[in-house]
Chains A and B, each alone.
Chain A
Amino acid sequence: MSTATTLAAKEHARAQAAAVDAPVAPDGIDELTWAETVPGGRYTSNVLARGTRLRLRDVDGSACANILLYRADAPWERLNAADTVKVPWQAYLATGHPLLSDQGRVLATIVADSSGHHDAFCGTTSQAANENKYGSGALHSGSPAGRELFTVAAAKHGLSQRDLPSPISLFQGVHVESDGALVSTGSAGAGAEIDLLIHLPVIVLLANTAHPLDPSPEFATTTAVEILAWDATEELRTLPNTEPEYQRAVRNTESAWNAADPKGIR
């Protein structure tokens, strides 16, 4: 196809548009609010409404969805990995586990999980670490580090590297031995899903890049994450956790939400 003239170039450009498979909504869901697939080594971000149900799927069994959450209307409030394991007295993320902010509030609750392979300890990779392991960790390389991906994701929401705490990793697990040794337990295989219910408007940053303890010497084994989201506000009334610490975190969350919006306008 010629690109010698503007008209030909326009034809050439338009001919490149490939058919994109339409996302398939889960049974009973009429309208998706977000549908996207993030390849290995790439990132995405979005602002999600309170009451959103966010489903992440490890399409081919070797994804690593590192995520950070910030309160959209007050982004200095953000995911706190320490409180996320300390407050529920539990290191391993599973259904019912809250993702807590530094202000004693629930940014999201895990409401379904068929993976069970997640990690809240190791954070994500640095450029230096990926250079050591894969030969490069630069953003434009084939093995971009998690910190690099998060830096640009954060920039698109007015945030900088100072705003990057340690993320949590979904679909790649780590077990703690009795002597403290950290051992990768890998993934749960293709098709594993985790659903997060969003309690306050949040910025979500997602970097799909190999876990720091990934045993594979090849970065290319990191595979895609599929994202689907829809409105599930009514599920905020039937939360899957009756632990007292969780109930108090919900109380703090609802208190902030109601104080800012007593008439329920937004």
Chain B
Amino acid sequence: MSTTLEHTIIRDELADARAPWSAVVRAGDVLTMIDLHGNQAVDTLLYAAHDHSIRYSASATVTAQRNLFLTTGTVLRSDDSTPLMTIVADEVGNHDTVGGACSQESNTLRYGHHTKHQHACVENFLIEGAKWGLGKRDLVSNINFFMNVPVDPDGTLGIVDGLSAPGKSLSLRAETDTLVLVSSCPQINNPCNGFDPTAVRMVVTRS
């Protein structure tokens, strides 16, 4: 095997609608998330595989690039600003990292107490994280791929209609062996999933 153009597919899986997903992506491998049905928020947290105390930091990431939005070239950084992954391709152009994850508790504030028992991303993070020895204290502000959160001049901020579309994808290269913890967002009260949670295809390739 001498060609450098060939890619080996390491994984090709679905993060099912409303479900969590996780995997360790080896340094140099590329994780491509394909928004199969369009505008499906993919809530994502990253941890160094060898030391889960090294974890994604939204504030370190946006501060280092002095920009609130994530797209091609964005380095996803840990608390001490070391790179975990880099966005190497992006067919959407703008992803959120300030809106956090939906939780049953925050749903009561945003939509009313009748939503308290609707499934939420934090539930997915907790149950999937438990497989890796992660608990609540390990959950921090996350990335929301395929989610659109503008900030208006007066500071008004909110989740609005997405910029993605069926089949659009985003690729992340691991800079170190990285545990990727994902929730295919089950939210049905705002437009982050087009009010209809769907599955996302997760493909890991090695070149």
A237 within 8 A of B: no
Q: Which residues from B are CB-within-8-Å of A123?
A: 57-60, 63
Smallest CB gap from B122: residue in A: A102
Q: Which residues from B are CB-within-8-Å of A90?
A: 155-157
Q: Are A245 and B110 in contact (CB under 8 A)?
A: yes
Contact with B along A85-121 (1 / 0, CB 8 A): 1110111100000001011110000000000000001
A3 within 8 A of B: no
Q: Which residues from B are CB-within-8-Å of A87?
A: 106, 109-110
Smallest CB gap from A176: residue in B: B151
Q: Which residues from B are CB-within-8-Å of A122?
A: 59, 62-63
Smallest CB gap from B105: residue in A: A104
The number of residues on chain B lying at the interface, defined by a beta carbon within 8 Å of a beta carbon of chain A, is: 45
Smallest CB gap from A161: residue in B: B53
Q: Which residues from B are CB-within-8-Å of A105?
A: 105
Q: Are A182 and B63 in contact (CB under 8 A)?
A: yes
Within 8 A of A (CB), among B64-119: 66-69, 79-82, 94, 98-101, 103, 105-110, 112-113
A126 within 8 A of B: yes
Among A82, A121, A166, A249, chain B packs the most CB atoms within 10 A around the CB of A82
A181 within 8 A of B: yes
Q: Are A104 and B141 in contact (CB under 8 A)?
A: no
Inter-chain CA distance A178–B153, complex, in Å, is 7
Q: Are A82 and B67 in contact (CB under 8 A)?
A: no
Looking at the assembled complex, report how far the CB atom of B83 sits from the nearest CB atom of chain A, in whole angstroms. Answer: 12
A204 within 8 A of B: no
Smallest CB gap from A169: residue in B: B59
Inter-chain CA distance A124–B79, complex, in Å, is 9
Looking at the assembled complex, report how far the CB atom of A11 sits from the nearest CB atom of chain B, in whole angstroms. Answer: 47
Q: Which residues from A are CB-within-8-Å of B138?
A: 162
Looking at the assembled complex, report how far the CB atom of B189 sits from the nearest CB atom of chain A, in whole angstroms. Answer: 12
Q: Which residues from A are CB-within-8-Å of B139?
A: 102
Contact among B81, B109, B136, B141 for A126, CB-based, below 8 A? B81
Contact among A89, A104, A128, A180 for B69, CB-based, below 8 A? A180
Inter-chain CA distance A100–B109, complex, in Å, is 10
Q: Are B57 and A82 in contact (CB under 8 A)?
A: no
Inter-chain CA distance A81–B62, complex, in Å, is 14
Contact with B along A11-39 (1 / 0, CB 8 A): 00000000000000000000000000000
Inter-chain CA distance A124–B57, complex, in Å, is 11
Q: Are A249 and B109 in contact (CB under 8 A)?
A: yes
Q: Which residues from B are CB-within-8-Å of A85?
A: 98, 157
A252 within 8 A of B: yes
Inter-chain CA distance A73–B40, complex, in Å, is 37
Inter-chain CA distance A249–B110, complex, in Å, is 9
Q: Which residues from B are CB-within-8-Å of A126?
A: 60, 79-81
Looking at the assembled complex, report how far the CB atom of A147 sits from the nearest CB atom of chain B, in whole angstroms. Answer: 6
Q: Are A86 and B79 in contact (CB under 8 A)?
A: no
A80 within 8 A of B: yes
Q: Which residues from B are CB-within-8-Å of A147?
A: 79-80
A164 within 8 A of B: yes
Among B80, B101, B109, B151, chain A packs the most CB atoms within 10 A around the CB of B109
Inter-chain CA distance A160–B93, complex, in Å, is 36
Contact with A along B124-145 (1 / 0, CB 8 A): 0000000000001111111000
**Given A83-B100, A182-B62, A248 and B155 touching (CB < 8 A)?**
no
A179 within 8 A of B: yes
Inter-chain CA distance A103–B109, complex, in Å, is 10
**Given A86-B100, A122-B59, A162-B138, A129 and B67 touching (CB < 8 A)?**
no
The 10 closest A-B pairs by CB, nearest first: A82-B100, A123-B59, A104-B105, A92-B155, A180-B69, A166-B59, A180-B68, A176-B151, A126-B80, A91-B155
A-B contact pairs, 6 of them (CB 8 A): A121-B59, A128-B81, A147-B79, A163-B137, A180-B94, A182-B63
Q: B interface vs A, CB < 8 Å?
A: 53, 57-60, 62-63, 66-69, 79-82, 94, 98-101, 103, 105-110, 112-113, 122, 136-142, 149, 151, 153, 155-159
Q: A interface vs B, CB < 8 Å?
A: 76, 80-83, 85-87, 89-92, 100, 102-105, 121-124, 126-129, 147, 161-166, 176, 178-183, 212-213, 245, 248-249, 251-252
